Amino acid sequence: MRIAIIEDNETLANAIAYRLRDRGHAADVLHDGDSADAFLAQDGADLVVLDINLPGRSGMDVLQSLRARGDGTPVILLTARSDVSDRVAGLDMGADDYLVKPFEMDELEARIRALSRRKDLDYGARETIGRLEFDRISRQVSVGDRIVDIPRRELAVLECLLERRGRIVPKSQLTDHVYGIGADVDDTAVEPHVSRLRRRLVDHGVSIKTARGLGYMLEVTG
């Protein structure tokens, strides 16, 4: 899952991103409201962790702009303990949940899992391709009753290709999904993950085609 972390406290934002990436998610980190609004309008995310107090546009302005575009992406607000009125206003404006600082990472993860389940109920929790089935809630791949063991970064590659099934996915987009926008990695970093994932999928009627100079695309082969 691709999660946007919008928080001006760089230490906290990076800690959240590290934890989520360690769980196999892609995490994009933004530190001000103006860049966050532009990012959500252009690139989007599967879920947003949004601080209310941001430089530039406030978190409330970012949320209002998101909902005004008709974007229903789940949003978890981060608030100070004293901001009761802001929490109420945020929920009324369309936020899905909130957390009061300071908070435990385990609680944030639990809130994210709960919102993920809610979203997956709306958009379909399972997807079948070839002989494989991908469960978006448990983030597991199976063939019949057997779980296929896929490391988390390869799983992130598969998730990104599935989301754009039938289309060529640029290498840069895969890199952003696996490592997060702004991560200090070259686009070539994703190549070994694609190569290993390709070998895991080939026996299950699924292939990853390379469009030279363009990117990759998931295809059913049998």
Domains delineated in the chain: 2-122 (3.40.50.2300), 126-220 (1.10.10.10)
Instruction: Please check the confidence at residue 165 and state whether its pLDDT lies above 80.
Output: no
Dump pLDDT digits (tens) for 68-98: 988 888 999 998 866 778 778 888 889 999 9
What does the alpha-carbon distance between residue 115 and residue 63 come to, in Å, rounded to a whole number?
17
Q: How far apart are CA 89 and CA 114, in angstroms?
A: 22
pTM of the predicted model, to two decimals?
Answer: 0.61
Flag the least confident range among 50-54, 179-183, 198-202, 215-219: 179-183
- Sorted by sequence, the CB contacts under 8 Å of residue 137 that are 6+ apart come out as 116, 117, 120, 125
Q: Kindly state the DSSP code that residue 220 receives in the 8-state scheme.
A: E
Cβ atoms < 10 Å from Cβ of 193? 20
Residue-level length of the chain? 222
Residue 60: both structure tokens together: 């409330």
| Cα 196 from chain centroid (whole Å) | 22
Q: What is the mean pLDDT of residues 186-213?
A: 91
